């Protein structure tokens, strides 16, 4: 079969592929510590599950309006107001089939052949393929560990061309754990607004913040930035609802209308039952979110202590999300049984085969020096896994 050039130009999601490999090894009885997880290890809270059961019992099982139920859209509007001080009207928000789908739709709605989208690296694995699938060109802008992997204004200015349509900003970040402070974000956002470069602000990890940090939504910076930003969020990470597939966004009405048109011709509405659950997540009790955040912070402290014991390894201290992204550059060029480790893919393969540890090679995020370790796993698993990593690294010569 002759498949399209479009599909041949992208790879399947490497993070999901790694999880599949770890699961397969585990099924064979190998005691794998999986640092690959891109989701909270907590269950979806009971009151949220109950809302879904009630939706089924009430017969809420038919098509809903394409951009989401009015009730869930209202809950999203209330959430943006309550948590972020953002005012969005009904025609400025929509519900999507997971947060991933929100950015996919934006790319489809925004890009013509050859249009450019700025993607600061390290990036979330799905941004570049989504740009490519829409006929656009991802312009990858590297950042540095010394700067917390945060984009610097001078680098942004150099990357913008007359073809630039948009930029992805993801804070708290997957994979680096970096969180932009208001002072770090403002110059970037104001520059983008002045150039008409749409900011796609991916705020999926908003409540997972450490050391008493507060969150600044990009769109809240100024009226000009608000008009030039689409805010992406969802229930997957905040409420441990990855399988329910509900994301949402708020932004310019014209863009939301365009995304809704595409959604109407592709997925139609997100699942009716999951929308009821998401409504309960946003409107219901929020205390457990902060409690879970404390667990993530404790695990952040634990994994950072253990990483600091690895000779030659440096790591930016995560300020949010549940990922650590240490650099293993010092080990590249070393050998094990005659085979040389040339980069993050080799080292991740080596750790899987020799330490029974699964972690995602940084090359998947556009930063080959590093490997991503999710700490959304138990303290015991973190200790066991990092001890194995330490022992395996010591065998490289």
Ligand X SMILES: *Cc1c(COP(=O)(O)O)cnc(C)c1O
Residue 73 backbone dihedrals phi, psi, to 5 degrees:
-60, -40
Tokens 């219901």 sit at which residue? Answer: 284
Name which of 150 and 329 has its Cβ closer to ligand X. 150
Which residues form the interface with ligand X (CB under 6 A)?
38, 98-100, 124, 170, 174, 202, 204, 234, 236-237, 242, 247
How far apart CA 160 and CA 145 sit, in angstroms, is 22
Is the N-terminal amide bond of 247 cis, ω within 30° of 0?
no
> Shortest approach of ligand X to residue 51 CB, angstroms?
18
* C-beta closer to ligand X: residue 289 or 330: 289
Question: Measured from the CB atom, is 237 or 292 closer to ligand X?
Answer: 237
Q: What minimum distance in Å lies between the beta carbon of 17 and ligand X? A: 15
Output 55 or 360, the one with its CB closest to ligand X.
360
Give min distance, CB of 354 to ligand X, in A.
28
Residue 369 tokens read as 């020096």
According to DSSP, residue 213 is labeled -
Residue 350 or 365 with smaller CB distance to ligand X:
365
Residue 203 vs 297, nearer CB to ligand X:
203
For residue 117, what are the β-bridge partners? Answer: 138, 166
Q: Three-state SS for 361?
A: strand
- Is 325 exposed, middle or buried (CB count within 10 Å of its CB: 0-12, 13-18, 19+)? buried
Minimal distance, residue 46 CB to ligand X, in Å: 21
* Among 347, 352, 343, residue whose Cα is nearest residue 396: 347
Give the nearer residue to ligand X in terms of CB position, either 316 or 350.
316
* Shortest distance in whole angstroms from residue 250 CB to ligand X: 15
**How far is residue 149 from each of residues 4, 182, 262, 304, 370, measured CA to CA in Å?**
35, 16, 34, 17, 12
Question: Could you tell me if 222 and 182 are in contact, meaning their C-beta atoms sit under 8 angstroms apart?
Answer: no
Minimum distance between the CB of residue 42 and ligand X, rounded to whole angstroms?
15
Q: Measured from the CB atom, is 104 or 226 closer to ligand X?
A: 104
Burial (CB < 10 A; 0-12, 13-18, 19+), residue 223, is exposed
Least distance to ligand X, CB of residue 120, Å: 12
Residue where the block lists tokens 């900011």: 199
What three-state secondary structure class fits 301?
Answer: helix
CB of residue 247 to ligand X, shortest distance in Å: 4
């Amino acid at each position: 079969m002759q498949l399209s050039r479009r599909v041949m130009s992208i790879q399947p999601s490497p993070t999901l592929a790694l999880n599949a490999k770890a699961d397969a090894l585990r099924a064979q009885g190998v005691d794998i510590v999986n640092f690959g997880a891109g989701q909270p290890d907590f269950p979806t809270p009971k009151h949220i599950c109950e809302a879904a059961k009630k939706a089924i019992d009430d017969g809420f099982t038919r098509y809903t309006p394409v951009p989401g139920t009015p009730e869930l859209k209202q809950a999203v509007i209330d959430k943006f107001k309550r948590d972020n001080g953002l005012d969005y009207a009904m025609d400025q928000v929509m519900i999507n089939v997971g947060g991933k789908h929100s950015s996919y739709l934006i790319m489809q709605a925004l890009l013509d052949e050859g249009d450019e989208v700025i993607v600061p690296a390290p990036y979330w694995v799905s941004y570049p393929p989504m740009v490519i699938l829409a006929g656009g060109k991802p312009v990858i802008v590297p950042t540095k560990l010394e700067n917390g992997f945060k984009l610097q204004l001078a680098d942004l200015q150099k990357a913008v061309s007359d073809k630039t349509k948009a930029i992805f900003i993801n804070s708290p970040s997957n994979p680096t754990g970096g969180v932009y402070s208001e002072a770090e974000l403002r110059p970037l956002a104001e520059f983008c607004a002045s150039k008409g470069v749409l900011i796609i602000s991916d705020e999926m990890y908003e409540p997972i913040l450490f050391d008493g940090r507060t969150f600044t939504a990009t769109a809240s910076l100024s009226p000009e930035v608000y008009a030039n930003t689409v805010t992406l969020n969802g229930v997957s990470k905040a409420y441990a609802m990855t399988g329910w597939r509900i994301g949402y966004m708020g932004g310019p009405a014209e863009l939301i209308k365009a995304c809704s048109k595409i959604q109407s011709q592709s997925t139609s509405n997100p699942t009716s039952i999951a929308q009821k659950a998401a409504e309960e997540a946003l409107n219901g009790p929020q205390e457990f979110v902060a409690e879970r955040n404390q667990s993530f912070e404790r695990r952040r402290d634990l994994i950072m202590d253990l990483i600091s014991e690895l000779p030659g390894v440096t790591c930016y201290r995560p300020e949010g999300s549940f990922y650590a992204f240490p650099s293993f550059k010092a080990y590249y060029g070393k050998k094990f049984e005659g085979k040389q480790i040339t980069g993050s893919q080799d080292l991740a393969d080596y750790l899987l085969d020799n330490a029974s540890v699964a972690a995602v090679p940084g090359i998947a995020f556009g930063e080959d020096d590093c490997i991503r370790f999710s700490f959304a796993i138990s303290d015991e698993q973190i200790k066991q896994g990092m001890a194995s990593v330490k022992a395996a690294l010591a065998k490289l010569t």
